Structure 1
Amino acid sequence: MAEKNAYKLPVIQHPAPAQHPLQQQLQPQQQQPIYYGAVAHSSWATDMWDCFQPAELCLKACCLPCIVYGKTQHRLQNPTLAGYQPLNNDCCIWSAAQYCGLGCILTLLQRQAIRQKYGIPGDTLEDGFFSWCCHCCALMQQEKEVEQRSRNGNGFQQGYVRPEGMEMRPQQ
């Protein structure tokens, strides 16, 4: 018993150093990181299984998926949809590929392009699964994602914020 107490060292507490009032006022503030030309990572804005809203897009994706694919492809290149025609080249290419049973490959490539452009995590296996098994839902999710990101800019909520200058106040 005496051996246990022999190893305990006394605890010495030092008082906290007094800070000058100026030092207390000039504490650094945490700021949000600012991205310059980089893509911030985020997730899909809409869930994959949220594919019944809006109803008009749901009907287009089920009955005329080539038009949804073509519109998304056009929006990726031109967010304002200037010069958009429902029967565009991308629509026709997707239709021809789908006729051969290869439309899911174009949907997969579009999905990967969207993920890369907006920094959305995921992998090719997941993209392939959704493009092959649920192409209507995948096309809807892709269209809604690009539409929403185009409306909000490139996905960033805040641009450059100029830091406030430091002020030296006179001592009193």
Structure 2
Amino acid sequence: MSAYSTQPTGQWTTGLCGCFEDPGNCFMTCCCPCVTFGQTAEVIDKGITSCGIAGLIYYGLAHCGLGCLYSYTFRSKLRGLYSLPEEPCNDCVVHWCCAACAFCQEYRELKNRGLDPSIGWTGNEVKINKAANYPKAPGVSPGMAR
């Protein structure tokens, strides 16, 4: 498991066509896919790529029909972070055939693993550090509730 994941590695937590599992994100992605892509790209890249820059690059390339050549690389990075299988087919093909479905799935994947793409990498980093520094009660094992 990754340091900031609550889900097991090696399997997607949602399917490619599960867009309506998060209707708000589905609507946002349909209206402005650059925003969803930028948010996930920033978190996947741990802040190295900014949301705005990634969204603008995708926007420019998408108008030439080449957006998938940029966006699929972040799907590959996400798969690498959690040892996810390349399914239902090659990452570039998934982004070429249905970028909106891919963006929604990647956004949900990050959320299901405890990250919130909407708050950017810095917000997630603060959340991760808070969780790591949270004092644990003596004699209580992780996962036990009181």
TM-score (norm 1): 0.56
TM-score (norm 2): 0.65
User: What is the deviation of 1:54?
Assistant: 1.6
2:58 maps to what in 1? 94
The equivalent position to 1:74 in structure 2, one of 29, 38, 42, is 42
Q: Tell me, yes or no, if the aligned pair for 2:79 and 2:85 is still in contact at 8 Å.
A: yes
Secondary structure (helix, strand or coil) at the match of 2:93 reads helix
Cα deviation code 1:108-130 (max 9, x no counterpart)? 11111110111112279532222
1:146-161, aligned counterparts within 5 Å? Answer: 146-151=110-115
User: What is the deviation of 1:150?
Assistant: 3.7
**Any unmatched runs of 5+ in structure 2?**
116-127, 129-146
Q: Show structure 1 runs of 4+ deviating over 4 A.
A: none
What is the CA–CA distance in structure 2 between the aligned matches of 1:132 and 1:41, rounded to whole Å? Answer: 25
**Any unmatched runs of 5+ in structure 1?**
1-34, 154-172
Cα deviation code 1:80-123 (max 9, x no counterpart)? xxxx86xx111111111111111112221111111011111227
Secondary structure (helix, strand or coil) at the match of 1:52 reads helix
Q: Per residue, is there more helix in 1 or in 2? A: 2
> What is the RMSD computed on CA atoms of the aligned residues?
3.0
Larger radius of gyration: 1
1:111 maps to what in 2? 75
What is the CA–CA distance in structure 1 between the aligned matches of 2:44 and 2:31, rounded to whole Å? Answer: 22
2:107 maps to what in 1? 143
